[in-house]
């Protein structure tokens, strides 16, 4: 589990196809300011909202294997570039954002990214199937970042991004047409399951 509070922006530096017959690729990621002293093989790190398992570690870099399914259902992992990084929560950690599983529910499209003073107004269109899970003033994860929606209109929603979020994550580089990984609030998912359950 994660909190959606980004610890560092890393950089995918190498993508290597794996000779496993399944089209898996191995990503080598420079961890940037993310401390790796307490990271071991088998640990989970969320990379732009995608929970991945550390399979190798060298100095300030770590490697993860990504399946074809994950590549097909997400964005931001198929080419070298920046990624938001967060290590898995420990039981003693503060929950500064909201509970995040690292399992991307869909890919959204940025409709607007506009300056409002020092802030930015981010408008995103989610896949239609996710619309019912998105509520005004509710939580949603965008590229691994825990955020609060300002408004919701059908499958589209807006978010206000403060300067700190713009500087500490990859979201400052968004523009209209950008695609982003979305994860809905776990509570919304379980509420729907409970309400739709038939005896």
| Domain contains 70 | yes
Indicate if 55 and 114 belong to the same structural domain: no
CA atoms 101, 157, 108, 77: torsion sign: negative
Indicate if 55 and 136 belong to the same structural domain: no
Indicate if 182 and 145 belong to the same structural domain: yes
Number of Cβ within 10 Å of residue 77's Cβ equals 21
Distance CA 129, CA 106 (A): 9
Q: What is the number of domains present in the chain?
A: 2
Indicate if 170 and 119 belong to the same structural domain: yes
pLDDT at residue 199, rounded to an integer: 52
Structural domain harbouring 155: 106-196
Indicate if 188 and 110 belong to the same structural domain: yes
| Domain contains 59 | yes
What is the mean pLDDT for each group of 10 consecutive residues in the chain (199 residues)? 95 92 90 96 97 96 96 96 95 80 96 97 97 94 97 97 97 98 88 71
pLDDT at residue 45, rounded to an integer: 98
| Domain contains 152 | yes
| Domain contains 97 | no
Indicate if 82 and 119 belong to the same structural domain: no
pLDDT at residue 101, rounded to an integer: 92
pLDDT at residue 19, rounded to an integer: 82
Among 55, 87, 119, the domain-final residue is 87
| Domain contains 67 | yes
Indicate if 37 and 76 belong to the same structural domain: yes
Among 87, 118, 135, the domain-final residue is 87
pLDDT at residue 197, rounded to an integer: 64
CATH of the domain at 29: 2.40.30.20
pLDDT at residue 95, rounded to an integer: 76
Backbone angles phi, psi at 68, to 5 degrees: -55, -35
Indicate if 115 and 82 belong to the same structural domain: no
- pTM of the model as a whole: 0.93
């Amino acid at each position: 589990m994660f909190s959606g509070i980004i610890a560092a922006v890393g950089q995918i530096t190498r993508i290597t196809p794996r000779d496993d017959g399944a089209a898996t690729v191995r990503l080598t990621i420079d961890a940037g300011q993310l401390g790796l002293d307490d990271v071991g093989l088998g640990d989970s790190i969320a990379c732009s909202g995608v929970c991945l398992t550390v399979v190798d570690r060298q100095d300030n870099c770590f490697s993860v294997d990504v399946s074809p399914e994950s590549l097909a259902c997400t964005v931001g992992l198929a080419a070298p570039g920046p990624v938001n990084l967060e290590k898995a929560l420990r039981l003693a950690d503060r929950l500064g954002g909201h509970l995040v599983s690292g399992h991307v529910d869909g890919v959204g499209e940025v409709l607007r990214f506009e300056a409002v003073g020092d802030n930015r107004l981010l408008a995103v269109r989610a896949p239609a199937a996710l619309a019912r899970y998105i509520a005004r003033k509710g939580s949603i994860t965008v590229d691994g970042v825990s955020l609060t929606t300002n408004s919701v209109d059908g499958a589209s929603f807006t978010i206000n991004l403060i300067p700190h979020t713009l500087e500490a994550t990859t979201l400052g580089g968004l523009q209209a047409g950008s695609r982003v990984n979305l994860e809905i609030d776990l509570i919304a998912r379980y509420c729907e399951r409970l309400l739709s359950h038939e005896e």
